[in-house]
């Protein structure tokens, strides 16, 4: 049922025609919201201005701040009686943002998730354990509804309580899991403590999402769990997970172009970049009823490929998210993304499952300290060995980021585990 061959392998010309039709409908719908109605009237924009897909460039971008400014109902296009769900950000860095869904929106989201999971090989004979948070966080519910629609026996385990997670895996013979990458790395040490080899369980597929992660992290999870780990991409502004997903070829994430119009732009010039060039991902919803978003700047940095995929799907692929255009760190005049640090650390066997970057200002100079957990079997009190490892990590990081950070080795599980997404950067710098 969820090998939607007609849609997934649609000829590119037909897919572009479908996108144009849906884009015109989505813009017409968006203009009925208070926010877009006022903005487009001010700029003299109507849906009739969209005669080709290239005409989308005439429309203004939508940003996170616009969503904050429109809180709570400024982007809503249907009566509240037709809305069945909302998801909201925490608002910890400012006014919260909220996304609304009709029943049809929820069905569309579940369908996209079922399509993603089926593509990786998940079937209704699988037992799916959802090791992700529920509630306002979209990751848990998105995978949950997709798994149930696909027909998998679904275990809504939620996040945390690692020993219970292992208990469920054993008792229910879990074969497919959804897990945040940082928690997956943490689980490796829990398996060791419990003297359980995850390879002896029934696990075969892991969906990694919510956090950007490196190929080294994926490989570490695959090797430890004995699974095939698939990268997923989504954001609450576009439903949540299910925007893009890896197929078995694992050469990029297919982004579902029947539901999203995709652009990649230079975040400074706001002009489109060429295929294969890193830029900021911009998405437009094509099917959403309650709250269509037009040219939403995700701030996520990636590149896009139009090359045919051996799997036969014609939807273009985006590369693994490199970072965000707004989480770039500038240290000693050098641009650094936390993902660069992770890529180095996860390639070093002695490194444990967690790390944290601390930024401080010392005598008007920004200093970066990387706290690195060391694996149990390497943390044996051998000072000479630890000193050599510290130097090894320092040299590897220097080669990547082009300056010398401080490296502090810490005991396994000594860095506090976050309840949600891992807190990778603590910035205590003084503005100067």
Q: How many CB atoms lie within 10 A of CB 55?
A: 14
Q: Is the pLDDT of residue 389 over 60?
A: yes
How distant, in Å, are the alpha carbons of 204, 247, 329, 408 from that of 386? Answer: 35, 40, 28, 10
Residues 359 and 281 in one domain: no
Number of domains in the chain: 2
Last residue of some domain: 326, 343, 359?
Answer: 326
Which of 295, 326, 357 is the C-terminal boundary of a domain?
Answer: 326
Q: Which two tokens stand for residue 245?
A: 């997903």
Per-residue pLDDT tens digits for 113-162:
999 999 999 999 999 999 998 888 898 999 999 999 999 999 999 988 99
316 and 346 co-located in one domain: no
- Cα separation, 136 vs 86, whole angstroms: 8
pLDDT higher than 60, residue 297: yes
- pLDDT in the model for residue 381: 62
Asked if the structure places residue 83 within a domain, the reply is: yes
Asked if 270 and 415 sit in the same domain, the reply is no
Enumerate residues 6+ apart whose C-beta is below 8 A from 305. 252, 275, 276, 316, 317, 318, 319
Q: Are residues 65 and 156 in the same domain?
A: yes
Would 432 be classed as within a structural domain? no
| Residues 297 and 335 placed together within one structural domain of the fold | no
- Report the pLDDT value the prediction gives residue 93, as an integer from 0 to 100: 43
pLDDT digit string, tens, across residues 7-47: 999 999 999 999 999 999 999 999 999 999 999 999 999 98
Sign of CA dihedral 41, 43, 48, 50: negative
What predicted TM-score, i.e. pTM, was given to this entire model? 0.86
Q: Are residues 38 and 105 in the same domain?
A: yes
**What percentage of the chain carries pLDDT values higher than 70?**
97
Q: What is the CATH number of the domain that holds 337?
A: 3.30.300.30
Q: Which of 284, 307, 326 is the last residue of a domain?
A: 326
DSSP line for 164-188: HHHHHHHHHT--EEEE-HHHHHHHH
C-alpha to C-alpha distance for 102 and 25, rounded to whole angstroms? 17
Residue 92 pLDDT class (50, 70, 90 cuts): very low
Answer yes or no: do 337 and 313 share one domain.
no
Nearest partner of 179 among 171, 170, 169, judged by Cα = 169
Q: Look at residue 382 in the predicted model and tell me its pLDDT.
A: 75
- The percentage of residues in the chain with a pLDDT greater than 90, rounded to a whole number, is 74
CATH classification at residue 170: 3.40.50.12780
In this structure, are 64 and 192 located in the same domain? yes
pLDDT at position 158: 93
**Same domain flag for 144 and 68:** yes
Which residue range forms the structural domain that includes residue 125? 1-326
Q: Taking residues 403-419, report their average pLDDT.
A: 88
| Lowest mean pLDDT across 43-47, 255-259, 359-363 | 359-363
């Amino acid at each position: 049922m969820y090998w939607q061959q007609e849609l997934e392998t649609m000829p590119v010309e037909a897919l572009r025609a479908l996108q144009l039709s849906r884009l015109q409908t989505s813009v017409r719908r968006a203009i009925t919201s208070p926010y877009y109605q006022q903005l487009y009237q001010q700029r003299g924009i109507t849906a009739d201005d969209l005669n080709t897909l290239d005409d989308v460039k005439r429309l203004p971008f939508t940003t996170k701040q616009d969503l904050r400014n429109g809180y709570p109902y400024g982007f809503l296009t249907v009566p509240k009686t037709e809305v069945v769900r909302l998801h909201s950000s925490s608002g910890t860095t400012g006014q919260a943002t909220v996304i609304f869904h009709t029943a049809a929106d929820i069905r569309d989201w579940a369908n996209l998730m079922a399509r993603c999971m089926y593509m990786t090989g998940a079937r209704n004979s699988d037992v799916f354990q959802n090791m992700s948070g529920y509630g306002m966080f979209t990751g848990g519910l998105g995978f949950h509804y997709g798994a149930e629609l696909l027909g998998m026996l679904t275990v809504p385990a939620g996040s945390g309580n690692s020993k219970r997670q292992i208990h469920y895996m054993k008792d229910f013979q879990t074969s497919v899991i959804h897990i945040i990458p940082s928690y997956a790395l943490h689980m490796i040490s829990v398996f060791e403590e419990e003297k359980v080899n995850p390879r002896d369980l029934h696990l075969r597929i892991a969906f990694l999402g919510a956090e950007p992660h490196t190929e080294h992290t994926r490989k570490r999870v695959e090797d430890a769990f004995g699974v095939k780990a698939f990268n997923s991409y989504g954001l609450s502004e576009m439903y949540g997970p299910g925007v893009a997903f890896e197929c078995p070829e694992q050469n990029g994430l297919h982004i579902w172009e029947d539901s999203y119009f995709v652009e990649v732009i230079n975040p400074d010039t706001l002009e489109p970049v060429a295929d294969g060039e890193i830029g900021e991902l911009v998405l437009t919803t094509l099917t959403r009823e309650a709250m269509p978003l037009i040219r939403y700047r995700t701030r996520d940095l990636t590149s896009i490929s139009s090359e045919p995929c051996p799997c036969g799907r014609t939807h273009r692929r985006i590369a693994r998210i490199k970072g965000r255009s707004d989480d770039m760190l500038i240290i000693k005049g050098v641009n650094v993304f936390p993902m660069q640090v992770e890529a180095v650390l996860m390639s070093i066997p002695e490194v444990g499952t967690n790390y944290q970057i601390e930024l401080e200002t010392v005598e008007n100079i920004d200093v970066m300290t990387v706290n690195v957990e060391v694996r149990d079997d390497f943390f044996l009190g051998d000072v000479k060995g630890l000193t050599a490892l510290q130097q090894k990590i320092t040299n590897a990081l220097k080669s990547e980021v082009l300056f010398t950070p401080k490296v502090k080795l810490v005991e396994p599980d000594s860095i506090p585990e976050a309840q949600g997404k891992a807190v990778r950067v603590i910035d205590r710098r003084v503005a100067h």
